[in-house]
Amino acid sequence: MSDAQVFRLTIAYDGTQFHGWQRQPDVRTVQGELERALREVLAQEVVTLNGAGRTDTGVHARGQVASFRATTALPAHAFPPMLQRQLPRDIRVMDAAACPAHFHARHSARGRRYTYRLLDSHDVLYERFAWYPQREVSETALSAAVSALAGEHDYSAFQAKGSSEVDPRCRVDVVAVSRWPGGLQFDVQADHFLYHMVRNLIGTALFAARKRDPAAHMAAVLASRDRARAAGTAPPHGLCLEEVIYEAEDLTP
């Protein structure tokens, strides 16, 4: 048997039937399903899987990253097919790799990219992964609203109440509105995110898009650092974790 080694998994999942990422007793979670599958693959060795993003109930992922330490002779490329035989259809391990001993999926991450998808109209298929806000949304107005978010700011106005203590200053490197086949999508990449931040940004940006000056309204909410000044929280099913960003030296053993 080899010495303990750190492995990295890239994971996609449909979050509809999960109570979020984080393991919880008596409910179905992504971490719980993956750890169960890993026990089978690793001949009952118990491992703890560390996820880069603790997605909420109903939130999806196409680029979630998780790491674990295990004492096994299995090569990294063996994990995706072996795990897939043990996993339900709404989770897929897309890739696996060996990593340096210091690598940790969450602590080593330098940024995360999320997409929130909006619908132009009701769609019986797309509505599993995108939200129809019951009204027409102007791409120009929504783009103007989110333009105020780029750069480093205190995002306290978009942090859910009751969340744990974390630095409210985030550096938003990418913020953009574009079209996808079902409607509009909002892409945002930052060094870190506050609890419910993306969903609160969407709710507020949609409200701001109906104002005479969407960018000015959004900037005023941001500057206030007051959650009461922002609008409601968009539902979880439109949100997807697309990518986790790491430095190259953190990925190569």
Q: Take residue 137 and report the two structure tokens written for it.
A: 């949304």
- The answer to whether residues 210 and 144 touch, using CB atoms and an 8 Å cutoff, is no
SS3 31: helix
Please give the C-alpha separations between residue 56 and each of 20, 105, 238, 240, in angstroms, as whole numbers. Answer: 4, 17, 12, 10
Please give the C-alpha separations between residue 216 and each of 144, 212, 222, in angstroms, as whole numbers. Answer: 9, 9, 10
**Three-state secondary structure of 36-66:** HHHHHHCCCCCCCCEECCCCCCCCEEEEEEE
Of the residues 56, 167, 187, 250, only one is catalytic, namely 56
Q: Take residue 198 and report the two structure tokens written for it.
A: 């993306």
**95 flagged as catalytic:** no
Please give the C-alpha separations between residue 201 and each of 63, 64, 72, 142, 212, in angstroms, as whole numbers. Answer: 21, 21, 43, 11, 18
Q: Which residues are catalytic?
A: 56
